[in-house]
Structure formats: C-alpha cells, structure tokens
C-alpha cells in the first residue's frame, strides 16, 4: 500500500549524487518526495547507501527550483 500524500516514509537509495534535506525525488509515475533527513551507511555490504526519511508531496505542489531533484527508477527486489 502506498503512503498517502502528506505522510512520511523511509526509503533508501544507492545514488551517486549525495542527497540533502530539501532535495526532491520524483519517480517515473510522478510520485514526489521531499527529503527530510539523510543518514549515510558507513559500514557493511552497502556502504554509502543513503537512508532517507521523506515527505510524500502532491505532484502538483510547488517545489524549490534551486533544490536538486533525483529521478528515481524503482527496480524489483529478488524474492527469497
């Protein structure tokens, strides 16, 4: 089930560009997120992975034109 607009959720990305508070993520379907907090994984198999708390935005909501926007393409997880 998708997180409703206005709620927060957690996700992680393996992006080359470091994200910061106030940046945006937009998916292929138009789902829009504003980054609230970022924690970078420092050890382990996924060192450098960015763990994010994000706010789900209305796709029509105004965004800061100076903020970085990451276009995100989801991929399927392998089933165990």
Does 52 map to a domain? yes
The 10s digit of each residue's pLDDT in 1-51 is: 589 999 999 999 987 889 999 999 999 888 999 999 999 999 999 899 999
Residue showing tokens 């206005």: 6
pTM: predicted TM-score of the whole model, two decimal places: 0.86
Q: Is the pLDDT of residue 70 over 70?
A: yes
Does 80 map to a domain? no
Does 55 map to a domain? yes
Domain containing residue 31: 11-72
Q: Most distant CA pair in the chain: distance in Å?
A: 41
Closest CA to 56 of 34, 24, 78, 26: 34
């Amino acid at each position: 089930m998708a997180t409703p607009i206005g709620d927060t959720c957690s996700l992680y990305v393996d992006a080359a560009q470091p994200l910061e508070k106030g940046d945006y993520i937009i998916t292929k379907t138009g789902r829009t997120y504003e980054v609230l907090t970022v924690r970078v994984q420092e050890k382990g198999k996924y060192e450098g992975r960015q763990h994010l708390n994000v706010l789900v935005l209305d796709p029509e909501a105004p965004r800061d034109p100076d903020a970085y926007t990451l276009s995100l393409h989801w991929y399927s997880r392998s089933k165990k």
